[in-house]
Chain A
Amino acid sequence: MIKTRLIPVLYIKNGLIVRSEDFNYHQMIGNVVNEAKRYNEWNVDELIYIDISRESSYDLRRDDHKIKSYSTIEEIVKTISQTCFMPLTFGGGIRTLDQIDFLIKNGADKITLNTGAIESPDLIKQASEKYGSQAIVLSIDYKLIDKKPIIFSKFGQSDTGIDVFDWIKEIERLGAGEVFLNCIDRDGKASGYDIETIGKVVDSTRLPVIACGGAGDSYDFVDLAKETKVSGIAAGNWFHFVERSYPRAKQLMKKNGINVR
C-alpha cells in the first residue's frame, strides 16, 4: 500500500532558509543548498520550498557574513535539482504561468499556488492543463474562526472569508492535484497538528492532502498518521533544530505501525 510521506518544508527568505513563527517572525537558519544536502543524506521522501521573501527582489544587505545567500530563485532551483533526487516542490509568490514555466524548466516537479490562485482561480486551470494536475499543489493557509477553517491569503495576513471546504471543491474542479494545508494558528507553536480539521478535510476530497503546522515532537506525526488518512505530513522548524530529527521520526513512525518508507 502507498506510504505516508514525511516532508520537510523549507522557507526561503531573501535567499536564506528561515524558521517561521506566526507567519511573521523569521529567524535565519542557513544556506539553502547546504540544508538540501543534509536532507538528501537523510533520504527524505520529498522536499517543499516556499519563498516567503516580501520584496520582489532579494535584499542582499541582509546577508549574514557566515552564510552564503543565493541571489535568485533560479539559482536555488537549479542547484538543488542537480543534487537532490526526490520530488521537489517550489512555491511562494507565484502569480503567472510564466513563473510556473520558469520553475518547472529549472527543475521543480511541482509548484504551489496560494494567494495567486485565490486572486485568479483560472491560473489553476491553465497550469494544470499545461503541466498536468500532479504538478499543481494548492497551498491553503487557514485560521479557525468560530470553529470553521477560514482561508487567509497574502502571507496569512488577509482574511478572505473563504471556507476551506468550499475552496477545495473549487480547486479540485479547476484541476489542482494536491492540497498543502497549513494551520496558521499553529505555525511555529509546536502544539501538535490540528487533527480534527485535517481529518475532515482529508475525508472531504479525493485529492491527496499534505498537512503542516504545529509539529512539536515525533509523536505528533504518529498521532496525525493514525487518526487521519492524510497523504503527507509536513513540518518546517522542527526538522532544523532536532539532531537527526528526520531519520528518528521515521523510526518512531515505523515502530508505531505507520506505513512509511
Chain B
Amino acid sequence: MIEMKNINKVYKMGEVSLEALKEVSLMIGPGEFISIMGPSGSGKSTLLNIIGCLDTPTSGSYFFEERNVAGLNLDQLSTIRNRKIGFVFQNFNLLPYATTYENVELPMLFNGKPGKKRRERVLELLEMVGLVDRQLHRPSELSGGEQQRAAIARALANDPSMILADEPTGNLDSKTGQEIMGLFVKLQQQGRTILMVTHDTNIASYSQRTINLLDGRII
C-alpha cells in the first residue's frame, strides 16, 4: 500500500533549516491500523501530511499503491487526496457555512459523482455514523462527537482505501473518543488502511501497530 524510503523533510526558515524527518523508511500494508506516536515536534504530523499527499518530501521516494508520488503534479495529488485518502482532523475542520449533508457531499462534487449516486452515498454514510436526523444542521449546531462523526462520513465519501487521522479524539471527552474509535475499528473491518497520529496510549491501543517517532526518526 505504502512504501517510503529514506524520506527527508527539511523546513528552511531563513538561515536556519529544520530537519523534520530524517531518513524515514516505512512499509504499510493494506488493511493495517497503525498509530504514529511521539512527543510534539517529533515529526508525526509532517509524516502524516506527506503520506496524505498534502506535502512533498525534500528527498527520498514515496510509492502510494505502487505509484511514485514524487513525480505527480498538484492536480494529480488533488485527485489522489480526493479518491484514495480520507482525512480526519483533531478540530474536525467541517466547513462552517455548509450543512452536515453538504460537508459529506463536497468531496463527491470535486470528482463529479452523478447526482443520484451522490445522494445515496451521503445518506448511506450519514446512516452509518448516525447523523441522518442532523443532515440539515450546520457544524456549529452539532456537538463535538457529532462533528467528528460528520467529518468521518465526509472522509469516506469517495470510498478511499486509506484514512488519515490527526489526533481524532484530541478535542473529545474520553467516552465520545471511544465511540469514535469504535467507528475506526469498523472501518478497518471494511478493509481500509488507517493511520492515526495520537499521543494517547489508550487510543493507540485500538491499533495493531505503533510507529514511534523521535526527532524525525523512527525508533
- Chains A and B belong together in one complex: no
- Residues of chain B touching chain A, judged by Cβ–Cβ distance below 8 Å, are none
